[in-house]
Structure 1
Amino acid sequence: MNRTNLFFKVEVEHDPGEKPERIGDEICRQILKVYGVRQAELSNFTSLEE
């Protein structure tokens, strides 16, 4: 069976007090629930100023 790495860019809006790391952790938990996903991790994040 082949194994492939997929990289996604996800842009989210959140309240100023909400930590991006916590959002990333929750997204990883949800991805891990999907059948066939062996690992999910947040490798980096950037904050955009508007």
Structure 2
Amino acid sequence: MDRVEKQAALFNLPETIVPHSVLALGYPAEENKEPRESRYEENRVHFEKW
């Protein structure tokens, strides 16, 4: 719970939202041969705050 509380404070989340993980995003050092289909959903991304 200590990590959950620290994550919630760091991202200024409302009390009704409980974070369970943090993801690190990036790309591999080697070049990809085939492009992947995008699974990006703009409505599910929040910048700087909830």
Query: Which TM bucket (shorter chain)?
Result: under 0.3
Task: Between the two structures, name the one with larger relative contact order (CA 8 Å, sep ≥ 6).
Answer: 2
TM-score of the superposed pair, with normalisation by structure 1: 0.20
Larger radius of gyration: 2
